[in-house]
Structure 1
Amino acid sequence: MSSRQSNLASALHNLDGRSYGNLKQIRGRYTFGPATVFIDRVQADPFASPSKVRVRVDRADAKFPLDLTTERADRIAASDYLLRSGNEVLAKLNQRALILGRPGQEILERTNILIDDTGFEARLLVNLPARGRRILGYQAADILTRDLPEFAERLFLFEHWSDARANQGGNAHAPSPRGLTDHVQLHRDQLELRSHLGEAELIGFVGNGAILPRTSGDSDLPMKSSDAVAFTSPPELEHTIDLSSGRSVSGMGIPRGVTVIVGGGYHGKSTILRALERGVYPHIAGDGREWVISDPTATSIRAEDGRAVTGDDISAFINNLPSGTDTRSFSTTNASGSTSQAASLVEAIEAGAQTLLIDEDTSATNFMIRDERMRALIPAEREPITPFVDRVRPLLTRQGVSTVLVAGGSSAFFEVADHVIALDAYVPSEVTNQAHELVGVTAADLESASPDLDPVAEPVRDTVPGSDSPTFSAAPRVPTAKALRPVSKTKTARAKGSDKIQFGRDFIDLIAVAQLVDTQQASGVAEALEYLAEIFDGRTALTDALTEVEDMLDAQGLDGITGHRDHPGHLTRPRRQEIAAALNRYRGLNLER
């Protein structure tokens, strides 16, 4: 036992039985052979948030392959692998007091494990033991001076890893050289395939053999392959992409444009849309959606009764209200279904979305369609809502925004669809010609209406008199300098689960933000809001502020968003779309007039 290790153990033994607040004495840095332990924060009492501890091993001691841990994208994948393996190591140690954090099915940038030029670091939370409010010093010493260093050596000393040991019992997350290599290579291949989407004019890809259904509605784990129908692309939409690794991936490519997915109830329409929602993120091997790859800006849009809206230009969808309200800068604390969906759509475009994902089951009917009989009964000039069916092609031709839409109860979108895909018991078929024949539209009609996405081309449907040039790109919204600095706010923003953020005395409801994957990502959004509070000065547009956050994250990583705190807690990087969604749902948001 080294002198520093002995000192920590002795200090904890001497604190045994004393008041819990005395544990603050152990803050500091301790060396245990190749591992260095940093005790950054000690909880105030046994019932407070856990203590924060880091353990680090230098690169020279870790001896990880440089070709797997040097490039930024590789470090994200390797850190993800170490996080999953680290939980397995803790299980082997039978250590429940140490908390590393458990990732979901996605491979994302997180703070739990850090790989940098000088070494490898695990950021853990630890519940230091107590009896009542008295320190259990001997148990704490075992955790911090025995189990934590052993955890670091098992996880970070690459030469101790063994493919043979990892294969015992078929444990996919036990650390092994082959496991790390495969994990990093899969991530590389997924990113490369995503880069091919734009080249091939695709906004989504679903690989043959994918298992899209989940075990249940409240689980993100894949259904057993024996119970699920593996995905097979229709021949007309099949693409094969050869990757530089030598891997060849075949599957259904979803072209840029308007794609409608139809089929009977429970036949897999919403399942494929949910997969495309999560396809903005890479996935681990065995998830079933490894080769479901979407446009990284793709954003799910739905109705959200009761949400707040601040200064949105929704005039392309809602205009000429009987009240005379100006919808070019519309605000409300209690949006209706149609208004909320219109607001979410224009906010998504403002945040950079080039693909919209919409399910009629979660949409406001009067926002989506208006049939011919209703149009005949209620003249267009008396109806304030221009339905999405009349705007979906102008969005494409004038903004370059594609749409993937699930429809089960109406054929209204057939005449504006570039592609129609029918699902029958999870098996897709390309039925565009049949759908167009039903509504008397041909592919030539669509092509002549939008040659090369000509910004002045007339859409097939844009039937509201006097509104043939809808505005989707409104004037930039500029938050006030104190937009995120309410007087009543005394604590930093924090996530309350994956669907809520406490911001001062307010709560931001994110339950409709479908592409947030877990509490750690919601925590990342909360930190981003704090960062935005420093940017807003009454002159910076919301979109420019989002870009500044994104650029900082690219340059400094997630640690940058916390001001490089020694232990930043457990965060997952959010997209700018989810940061914008939280900001837009904050009821205290104020804009410059």
Structure 2
Amino acid sequence: MGKGGKKGGYPWWEHIKGKGGGGADDSHRAPKRKSHYDTELEQWFVKIDGKGYPAYKDLIGQWDMGGWSVFIDKVQSDPYAPPSMIRARVPMAKAGFPAEYVTGSRIQNIALVDFITRAFSDVLAGGSGTDWTAAAAGGGWSGSKGGDLKIDTPGQYVLPRTSVVATKEFLEARLTLALPARGRTIEGYRAAEIVGEGLKQAVHSALRYEALDKSALKAHIEAVVDQDSLRSQLDAKGLCAFVGNGSVLPRKSGVDDRPMTKVDEPNLVLFSSPASMEVSIDLPYAGTVRGMGIKKGIALIIGGGFHGKSTLLQALQVGVYNKVKGDGRELVSCDPAAVKIRAEDGRYIQRTDVSPFINNLPFGQDTTCFSTGDASGSTSQAANIVEAMEAGATTFLVDEDTCATNFMIRDARMQALVAPEKEPITAFIQKVGPLFSQKGVSTVMVIGGTGDFFELADTVIMMEKYAAVDMTEEARKIAASMPSGLPAAARSTDFGTIRPRKVKHDGLASTGKVSSKSMRCISYGDTEIELTFVEQLVEVTQARAIA
């Protein structure tokens, strides 16, 4: 893998022509001092060498680099502040990318931008022989600081990005640069080297069509277009999800999202659809693909522990995204409006109508406009469902392991002891039917602790040693021969009202800085917004976009 820290299931670094060799050199040697600097920007960096850090502010603006341009948009206030923001722009006439990729369709443009971002990131991270993303460190106050030049580094997912912008007029990479200094004294020669060599190498290697492997780029775009086409066809085929035959669902580990291999696990099982659930879908480039179609409605994923139930659901929850070629889940697709639902103890709720699930609270508290700063598991799950529906969700993905038990089900014995009028919570089992029949929201649910849902399920998939088996008919027979005993009154016939709400934008004004340094938290002024349980976030850049 090398020092560049390459990510993603596809070896992008193999498709950069003339990339240089060897690993990254992160020794932070003294910058080379040339007798002549070709561009005005490099000359300016040299001119302000040794001056106070505020002199960097004079460089804001556009700089001609000889056939391409650098835009310095924001200069950090000191070496310890967040890095400066710059752009490298090449006229599309010089970049030379096919018009079909740039303006043919939105998804082609997204795939193009993603590929270029990966190539650009790799060159900076050592693909050129030097790791330009490594900051100088150590040496105390007077030691060299900063100097790291970075662009977004994608993982397994092909997301809409602003790290690279491709239009018919130009191709532009957007980066951060921690302008180098010793103490607060400008290191102009080092800055000139970073831009004149590091940035220039990345521009020439990643922002020119001729410098990239054309066949690899074409394969990447076609794979992403196929995935997008697959997802767009689900609704017309009456499906909420599809899992292609041959898919690799398990990941290397909980912290490594790359596909598991036979080297990692000799008993690795590739996905294969039960014959009774197999459907075929025609894709623009891959042709006809076959796999398991999960019909809209109520689908249960059952099976023993450690047999692959949650692995399948986890693959489905990221089925809303396109992946890199070689990820193993390219043909795992889900309703684009699918939302993972779970309990979230302690979450904040503000003026949410949770009355479809919560009513008759002690002391007459109104649940049609409910607020709390510390929600229970059941109340948080109710709010998560309602808020997702307000946002337009049409499929829910649920794993009983992360749900509140008292929210999911109340069996006949408990209902006999605690009368319905004394229980504020209407269990999910009473609402999952009308959720689909009245609101059009499907549910795909991992369940292992109760069979009461069998009576309601349209589809039952059993995972056995990571193999999927259609157990729908067997589950129905069991439900008929062994009734759950839930009284008729427990079968809700009305889901309830979902009241549309509008966000008050003035209420979002922060009293301080808004930032996100991780995928799981946003700093919003003095408030920390916890994102740990928003399980469908896959990259820190998404958290930054939310912030």
Normalising to structure 1: TM-score of the pair? 0.79
Question: In the TM superposition, what is the alpha-carbon distance from 1:498 to its structure 2 partner?
Answer: 0.9
The AA in structure 2 aligned to 1:69 is V
* Matching residue within 243, 264, 272 for 1:206: 243
**Partner of residue 174, structure 2:** 123
Question: 1:147 and 1:371, CA in 2 relative to 1: closer, same or farther beyond 3 A?
Answer: same
Question: In the TM superposition, what is the alpha-carbon distance from 1:130 to its structure 2 partner?
Answer: 1.9
2:48 counterpart of 1:15: yes
RMSD: 2.2
Residues 418-469 of structure 1 show CA distances to partners (whole Å, capped at 9, x for unaligned) of: 0110001111100011111111189xx9xxxxxxxxxxxxxx9894479632
Residues 488-530 of structure 1 show CA distances to partners (whole Å, capped at 9, x for unaligned) of: x143x3224111112222222111111111211011111xxxx
* Matching residue within 149, 172, 187 for 1:136: 187
2:400 counterpart of 1:360: yes
Q: Is the 8 A contact 1:366 1:387 kept in 2?
A: yes
Residues 321-372 of structure 1 show CA distances to partners (whole Å, capped at 9, x for unaligned) of: 2221121221111110000000100111111000000000000000001112
Q: Is the 8 A contact 1:4 1:31 kept in 2?
A: no
The AA in structure 2 aligned to 1:103 is P
**Partner of residue 498, structure 2:** 473
**Partner of residue 78, structure 1:** 112
2:536 counterpart of 1:525: no
**Partner of residue 217, structure 1:** 254
Residues 6-42 of structure 1 show CA distances to partners (whole Å, capped at 9, x for unaligned) of: 4322222222222222222222222222221112222
Q: How does 1:181-200 map to 2 (within 5 A)?
A: 181-200=218-237
User: Bigger CA drift: 298-307 or 460-469?
Assistant: 460-469
Normalising to structure 2: TM-score of the pair? 0.86
Question: In the TM superposition, what is the alpha-carbon distance from 1:196 to its structure 2 partner?
Answer: 1.3
**Partner of residue 92, structure 1:** 127
Q: Is the 8 A contact 1:386 1:464 kept in 2?
A: no
* Matching residue within 512, 515, 518 for 1:494: 515
How many aligned residue pairs are there?
491
**Partner of residue 85, structure 2:** 52
SS of structure 2 residue aligned to 1:215 = strand
SS of structure 1 residue aligned to 2:294 = strand
Structure 1: runs of 5+ lacking an equivalent: 162-174, 446-459, 527-593
**Partner of residue 482, structure 1:** 506
The AA in structure 2 aligned to 1:423 is M
Question: In the TM superposition, what is the alpha-carbon distance from 1:246 to its structure 2 partner?
Answer: 5.1
Question: In the TM superposition, what is the alpha-carbon distance from 1:275 to its structure 2 partner?
Answer: 0.8
Question: 1:246 and 1:14, CA in 2 relative to 1: closer, same or farther beyond 3 A?
Answer: closer
- Structure 2: distance between partners of 1:47 and 1:356: 44
Residues 390-431 of structure 1 show CA distances to partners (whole Å, capped at 9, x for unaligned) of: 110010111111000001111121111001100011111000
Question: 1:249 and 1:522, CA in 2 relative to 1: closer, same or farther beyond 3 A?
Answer: same
Residues 253-285 of structure 1 show CA distances to partners (whole Å, capped at 9, x for unaligned) of: 110010000111111111111111100011111
- Structure 1: distance between partners of 2:487 and 2:394: 20
- Structure 1: distance between partners of 2:72 and 2:221: 31
SS of structure 2 residue aligned to 1:405 = strand
- Structure 1: distance between partners of 2:336 and 2:37: 48
Higher strand share: 2
Q: Is the 8 A contact 2:430 2:490 kept in 1?
A: no
The AA in structure 2 aligned to 1:217 is G
Question: 1:465 and 1:436, CA in 2 relative to 1: closer, same or farther beyond 3 A?
Answer: closer
- Structure 2: distance between partners of 1:505 and 1:464: 48
Q: Is the 8 A contact 2:412 2:486 kept in 1?
A: no
Question: 1:441 and 1:432, CA in 2 relative to 1: closer, same or farther beyond 3 A?
Answer: farther
**Partner of residue 524, structure 2:** 503
The AA in structure 2 aligned to 1:352 is G
Q: Is the 8 A contact 1:211 1:223 kept in 2?
A: yes
> Which contiguous aligned blocks of 4+ residues in structure 1 show a shift greater than 6 angstroms?
none
SS of structure 1 residue aligned to 2:546 = helix
**Partner of residue 321, structure 2:** 281
Question: In the TM superposition, what is the alpha-carbon distance from 1:4 to its structure 2 partner?
Answer: 9.2
